[in-house]
Structure 1
Amino acid sequence: MTEPEFLATTRAFYDAIAADYADRFRDELAGEPLSRALLATFAELVRAERADAKVAELGCGPGRVTHHLHGLGLDIRGIDLSPRMVELARATYPGLDFTEGSLFDLPLGDGELTGAIAWYSIIHTPAERLPEVFAEFARVLAPGGHLLLAFQVGDELLRIDQPFGHPVALDFRRQQPDRIAELVREAGLRLTSRTLREPEEGGQPTPQAYLLARKPA
């Protein structure tokens, strides 16, 4: 089966910028108390569901969020499309499990997870393909399992060209929370929380959305 061009483009983009990206965002969570609070909420919900909960970050990049959630007591692994990102994550956090994989075909069994997080990883998927991604998220979640999504809010398409001086380009797709919530419900999950962070002076220039959902028990 031929791989969609957008997946190949996304992989090549992140392979090229992996080291610079990891350096740029390594300590970002330290300055984001709201993000840390939402991650802590997710971790608490997952632990309350099952003491032996299995969790995965879907689109983990260099592994910083996976590592943070591990520090909150979760048995978590990271999955990413980019081999170079996976390589960096393994080198930076050798005690954690990182694996290559696509959001469309996760290397996980049906109902394997009690928690799944997609932290800004749905932003390169064309709108018409998002239902497939959410169906895959629902497949790997066990009944009662929790999903946390983070993404930028908007309607416009942002194209980033030559980041950090590398000769690559990629489209970044902002989303509307109502539309993502609808897709979550269509995948058979129940939305439990919706948080909107407004643009920050000197910080993120666009609103950010965080959705929590649960697979019915």
Structure 2
Amino acid sequence: MRQGNSMSAADRDSVERSIKHCYSTWGTSYYADYYGADAPYPPVHLDLVSRLVAERDVKRLLDAGCGPASMLRHLVAPGRDIYGFDLTPEMVVEARRVLAEQGVPADHVWEGSVAVRADFVAPTGNADYDCVLCSGVMPHIAETTETDIIANIRDALQPGGHAIVEARNELFSMFTLNRYSHEFFLKQLLPVDELRRQAGDEGDGMNAALAQVERMFRTDVPPIRQGKDDEPGYDEVLSRTHNPLLLQQKFLATGFTNVQLYYYHFHCLPPVVSGHAPRLFREISLQMEANPKDWRGLFMASAFFVVAQRA
């Protein structure tokens, strides 16, 4: 699929099937793995989202791609109606179970896709939310359908309502000095095709230059994330990163205003050298989380939120 072409229904169905399969074994373990006491890094984004929601006095909240209610279970509050949907049936089952313990009706959680506008509507109500949260979803969205997804989020909001949308930070690759950095250089920065086309008698020199660029990075890390059983792993399904500045522009072009960027999961050192001082790396990185607007997050944070208001 090339940029600028619409994704066919068959292509979208294939992508969504692979994503469902990827997450199918995580229904009961995902929260403990990534939000629990033994998670590899504290869920700092949960605190950030909780603050963003509280500051906006949200009364009607939808989590589009809610997983096992990883965030929703922490956002239940008096006077606030919460809703959520997810692509993966196993996630929906777990979300209903968890939220039922907090008094949330089962029909407030349903199966759905962010690619389908009608799926933003609650089975017993309408859209008309004052906040739509979407975390962990954008990496699995093809670039060709991205603007449609943003429009679906916009249309589900009341005028003046807020979108809180998470994405993985592509520009973090400028800091990691690993496989992601090399891929970013080749795909986004260096005009490789043009260099090869115009190389002429310097073809060998150009190849030597590209080989030297590759040697500047640890291209053997990080390892490819694989599945637990027979399901594909996170890196084996569509799992993109986003340039924060470009995603911000897309929200502005799709009917949002006051579009802000909040960075999280900071790294005070490039990951490839963090093992030399792991305690210090963790402590200073966590200290950096105190300011999600820090400009260094553009390069030193692995993820970010776009927070935008429907015009």
TM range (shorter): 0.7 to 0.9
Matching residue of 1:132: 148
SS in structure 2 at match of 1:172: coil
Check conservation: 2:46, 2:71, Cα contact below 8 A: no
Query: Aligned-pair RMSD on alpha carbons?
Result: 2.9
Distance change (3 Å), C-alpha of 1:209 and 1:73: farther
Structure 1 CA distance for aligned equivalents of residues 256 and 129 of structure 2: 14
Q: Secondary structure at the match of 1:17?
A: coil
Structure 2 gap ranges (5+): 1-8, 172-179, 184-221, 269-280, 287-299
Query: Are 2:115 and 1:104 equivalent residues in the alignment?
Result: yes
Deviations 1:127-151 (A, max 9, x none): 1211110011111111010011122
TM-score, structure 2 normalization = 0.60
2:36 corresponds to: 27
Q: Distance in 2 between matches of 1:139 and 1:186?
A: 14
TM-score norm. by structure 1 comes to: 0.83
Please name the residue that 2:19 is paired with: 10
The structure number with the bigger radius of gyration is 2
The Cα of 1:210 is off from its aligned counterpart by: 1.5
More strand by share: 1
Residue 302 of structure 2 corresponds to 207
2:216 matched to which residue of 1? Answer: none
- Residues 66-98 of structure 1, C-alpha deviations (whole Å, 9 max, x = no match): 111114863111110001100011112213321
1:142 pairs with one of 143, 158, 162: 158
Q: Distance in 1 between matches of 2:267 and 2:44?
A: 15
Q: Residues 192 and 42 of structure 1: is their aligned pair in 2 closer, same or farther, counting only changes over 3 Å?
A: farther
Unaligned runs of 5+ in 1: 48-52
Distance 1:32 1:13, change over 3 A: closer
Question: Which residue is 2:134 aligned to?
Answer: 118
Letter aligned with residue 178 of structure 1: L
Residue equivalent to 1:188: 255
Alignment of 1:50-129 (within 5 A): 53-71=59-77, 74-94=80-100, 95-96=103-104, 97-106=108-117, 107-109=119-121, 112-129=128-145
Quickly say closer, same or farther: Cα 1:73–1:192, change in 2 above 3 A. farther
